[in-house]
Amino acid sequence: MKWFKISLLSAVVFIFLILPMGGAAPGKVYIDIDAPGFRKFPMAIPDFVSLGGAVSSEIEREARNTLLDDLNMAGLFKVVDPGLYTPNPESGKRLDRTNYDTWRRVGAEAVIKGGYEVSGRSLMVEVYLFDTVNKRRIWGRRYRGSRAHLSRMIHKFMDDMMMEFTGEKGIFQSRIAYVTDLHGRKEIYFMDVDGKNSFRLTRNTVIDLSPAWSPDGTKIVYCSFKQRRPKIFAVDVADFRENLVAGFEGINISPTYSPGGTIIAFTSSKERNYYPNIYTVSESGGALRRLTSGNNIDVSPSWSPDGRRIAFTSNRGVGPQIYIMGSNGGGVRRLTYSGGYNTSPEWSPRGDKIVYVGAFRGRFEVYVINVDGTENMRLTSGRGDNEDPSWSPDGRLITFSTTRSGRGEIYWMRVDGSDQTKISDIGGNCSSPSWSGRVNFK
C-alpha cells in the first residue's frame, strides 16, 4: 500500500512538474504546415535599424531582401505591405520592445524587428520576434560574424523562427551543389539556397558531373573524367581532401550516399558481361557489392530515407523506367507506367514521394509520384527541358535545372509544382543541382 502511494505521488509530481518543462523547449507551434487550406501567416518586417555606429543602407537592404526571399521560400508567411509601416514607426526606440497595436493595426500577427552594428568588416545583428496577438516577445537573438556573412545570419534566424512556428527547423542553412560550364568544361560549384556565396569546388579542367552530398554536408561525391575514364571521387568541401571511391574498369557513374553516410551506391560496367549495373561500395572504396544484374542499363540510384530501399532507372523493360528494390538488391518492382522514358529518381526525405524526369511531348519534365505508385503528377510544363530534380532537406521543396530561358539555370519549386523561382547562379550552362542536408553555418 505504501509503495502504491509513493508511485502515485511520483506520477502526480511527474505530470505536473516535469512534463510542462519539457514542453517549453520547442515553443508553441503556430502553424501546422500539413493542414489543408491553411492561410499564410501575416508578418510585418520593418526596416533594420542601426544600433550605434555607422548607418548602412546597403546592410539594411541586404538584410531585408534576404529575409523576404527566405520568407517567400518558406511558403508560410505573407509579408504585410511595408508601405504601411515605412518609415519604421519604431526606429529610434528600443529594439527589444514594441507597441503591439502598431502592428495589429496593419494586420500583422507577428513582427520581426532587426538591428545591426557594423565596425570595419565585423557585423553584429540583433533580431527580435514578437507575437502581436498574444502580445509577447517570443525571443531575441544576437548574431556576430563578418559583414560578408550577413545573409547567413539571416538564414540562421529563419531556421530558428521556422522551428518556433512549425516545430521543425528551417532549411535556410543548407546548400545546393551544381554543375556549370562557365569555364569551358563542366565543373562543380555549391551555393547557399539564395544563390549567394557560390564556391567553386573542382578545378580539374576536364568534365566533372553528378555531384551528391554526404548526409552531414561535409563531402560531395562526384563523377570525373580527370583520370581519362569516368571515375567517382569524394571530396571534403572544407579542405578539399579527396579520395578515389570507384575507378573500376568501364564506367563509374551516378554516385549517391546512403542515409547513414558510410556507403555509396553507383553504377559500374566492370563485370564480364559489361552491362552497367548498380553496386554499393564503402566511401574508402572497399566492400564492393553488386545489387542489380542482367543485360540492361541500371543507373541513378536513390536511397529511401530509412536506408532500406533504393529507387533507380532501368531499361530492363522497353525504354528507361523507375524501379524500386530492397537495399540488398532484392524485391525489384516497377514504379512508373506512364510514358516511355522516365529517369533520375530522387526519394523525398519524408519517405513518401519520389521525384523524377519524364519525356512528355518532346520535352523533359519533372514529375512526382507516391512511393506506392499512386498520384503521378507532372510539375513542369512546356518550356524548355526540366531535369535533375533534388529535394530540400525537409522534403517540401524541389530544386531542378531548366532551359526555359535558353541557357541552363537552377530553379526551386514546391512539391505541387507551384512558385517556380530562379536561383541566381554563377553563370554558364548550369545543371545537376543537388540539395544538401541541413548544415549549421559557423
Nearer Cβ to another protein (232/439): 232
Among 170, 211, 215, 276, binds another protein (CB under 8 A): 276
Distances (CA, A) of 125 to 16, 73, 162: 38, 22, 18
Nearer Cβ to another protein (253/325): 253
Residues making up the chain, counted from first to last:
442
In this structure, what C-alpha cell is assigned to residue 268?
Answer: 559500374
CA nearest neighbour of 432 among 395, 389, 396, 394? 389
Residues from 278 through 297 that contact another protein (CB under 8 A): 297
Which range touches another protein (CB under 8 A), out of 141-149, 202-210, 321-329, 372-380? 202-210
Count of residues interacting with another protein (CB under 8 A): 36
Among 111, 191, 299, 354, binds another protein (CB under 8 A): 299
Measured distance CA(20)–CA(250) in Å, rounded? 61
Which range touches another protein (CB under 8 A), out of 21-29, 81-89, 207-215, 411-419? 207-215
Among 166, 174, 292, 300, binds another protein (CB under 8 A): 300
Residues from 316 through 355 that contact another protein (CB under 8 A): 319-320, 341, 343-344
CA nearest neighbour of 342 among 399, 281, 300, 403? 300
148 contacts: CB under 8 Å, gap ≥ 6: 121
Min CB(324)–another protein separation in Å: 17
Min CB(416)–another protein separation in Å: 23
Our CA angle for 222, 224, 227, nearest 5°, is 140
Which range touches another protein (CB under 8 A), out of 82-90, 151-159, 163-171, 204-212? 204-212
CA dihedral (424, 425, 431, 436) in degrees, to 10, reads -90
Which range touches another protein (CB under 8 A), out of 32-40, 245-253, 368-376, 433-441? 245-253
Nearer Cβ to another protein (273/374): 273
Nearer Cβ to another protein (30/225): 225
Our CA angle for 49, 54, 59, nearest 5°, is 55
Strand order of the sheet with strand 377-378?
A: 342-347, 353-360, 363-370, 377-378
Measured distance CA(192)–CA(66) in Å, rounded? 11
Nearer Cβ to another protein (103/323): 323
Distance of CA 70 to the CA centre of its chain: 12
Q: Is 253 in the site for another protein (CB under 8 A)?
A: yes
Measured distance CA(76)–CA(166) in Å, rounded? 10
Cis preceding-peptide flag for 215 (omega within 30 of 0): no
Which range touches another protein (CB under 8 A), out of 22-30, 123-131, 224-232, 322-330? 224-232
Q: Is 384 in the site for another protein (CB under 8 A)?
A: no
Min CB(74)–another protein separation in Å: 31
Question: What residues make contact with another protein under the rule CB under 8 A?
Answer: 186, 207, 209-210, 223, 225, 228-230, 250-251, 253-254, 267, 269, 274-276, 297, 299-300, 313, 315, 319-320, 341, 343-344, 357, 359, 364, 385, 387-388, 431-432
